[in-house]
Amino acid sequence: MALNIGSFTYVTSNMLKKDSQPGLRTINPATGDVTIHPSLKIRVVKVSGAPYPKPDRVEMVQGKIVKAKMQCKDINALVKRLNDLARSSYRQVLSDPNWQAMYRCPGGTASIPYITPAASATTNTEEAYPCHNCGLVMPTRLVQIDHHHPQSGGSGMAVLKALRACGYTVGVAGGPKAGQLQSGVYAFIPPKGSPSGTFTHSTASSVLRYTLSDEGSIFLTVAAVANQVGALKSVCVNSVINLVPLCAYCNGSAGKGHGVKPVRP
């Protein structure tokens, strides 16, 4: 599911009447629930143009005071950016050149060990990824793709993570992935080096990093008025921003995959 830019354009073109100014929305990172704040409204400001006035910006107002604003062109650019980063199937990231640059083994391949029918050791050079949690190197066919913020119950955090990477939260993005997405220069991100099987999904450890900026709240409100919150959650959950490669063991520990655990003595 993609964000429908036409719906956003319709809202910014027609949200004019004073008595129809919608209340500002925010999103709960833990539940994904959207809350309306009726004391804060948003309105569209148009500028002169031929043959009709054109939408210029969306303002957040409290009474007669303008608290924040977001240009309509920036709203459309953010819709396009989020759609560009989303994948209809999360395994599609395996063919995304930017995601490959961040997660595939340096050089793109690795020597994968095998045991032959003659019981001798051998290796094959294959495209490979390290597990982002423990660092185990796997051929691409064995890689499992996990949502950093899970599909079930993690949509709010996924939305906030994606908007943070695009610069629309109070706290700035501090990780290498967000920096690369913003700069457009992609390079290998080393694994965490955590013990196998200990992967856990991220939590909202920083309140500011999981709090929308005023512009982010304006965008969310326009999305809500355009009936696009469901699509917004979908594109953010399946965004390049939210997907990492894991081995089956680490992915199983996160409640995903087949959850196979190694036999221990």
With respect to residue 117, please indicate whether it lies within any of the assigned structural domains.
no
Query: Using an 8 Å Cβ cutoff, are 226 and 3 in contact?
Result: no
User: Distances from the Cα of 93 to the Cαs of 27, 59, 125, 240, 244, in angstroms?
Assistant: 27, 36, 22, 7, 9
Q: Kindly state the DSSP code that residue 105 receives in the 8-state scheme.
A: P
With respect to residue 108, please indicate whether it lies within any of the assigned structural domains.
yes
Q: Which of 139, 66, 63, 76 is nearest to 108 (CA)?
A: 139
With respect to residue 265, please indicate whether it lies within any of the assigned structural domains.
no
Q: How far apart are CA 242 and CA 262, in angstroms?
A: 27
Q: What is the mean pLDDT of the chain?
A: 86
With respect to residue 54, please indicate whether it lies within any of the assigned structural domains.
yes
pLDDT at 198: 67
Q: How far apart are CA 245 and CA 129, in angstroms?
A: 7
pLDDT at 149: 57
pLDDT at 111: 96
Burial of 205-238, coded b for 16+ CB within 10 Å and e otherwise, reads eeeebbbbbbbbbbbbbbbbbbebbebbbbbbbb
Degrees, nearest 5: CA angle 137-158-209: 100
Rounded-to-10 torsion of CA 4, 176, 185, 91: -50
Q: What are phi and psi of 54, to 5 degrees?
A: -115, 140
Query: Using an 8 Å Cβ cutoff, are 29 and 71 in contact?
Result: no
pLDDT at 151: 53
With respect to residue 148, please indicate whether it lies within any of the assigned structural domains.
yes
Q: Which tokens is 230 given?
A: 């469901």
pLDDT at 262: 43
The tens digit of pLDDT for each residue in 12-50 reads 887 755 446 789 999 998 888 999 999 999 989 888 876
pLDDT (tens, 9 = 90+) of the chain, 265 residues, equals 789 988 998 888 877 554 467 899 999 988 889 999 999 999 898 888 767 788 899 999 998 899 999 999 999 999 999 999 998 887 889 999 999 999 999 999 999 999 999 999 999 999 999 999 999 999 999 999 987 755 555 588 889 989 999 999 998 877 888 889 888 899 999 998 888 776 665 555 578 888 999 999 999 999 999 999 999 999 999 899 989 999 998 888 544 444 444 444 3
Rounded-to-10 torsion of CA 151, 163, 5, 152: 10
Structural domain total, the chain: 1
In terms of residue numbers, what domain contains 180? 1-112+122-260
Q: Which tokens is 93 given?
A: 């990231």
209: CB partners within 8 A, 6+ apart:
160, 164, 169, 170, 171, 172, 173, 174
> What is the model's pTM?
0.85
How is 126-162 classified by DSSP, letter by letter? EEEEE-TTT--EEEGGG-EEEESS-TTT-HHHHHHHH
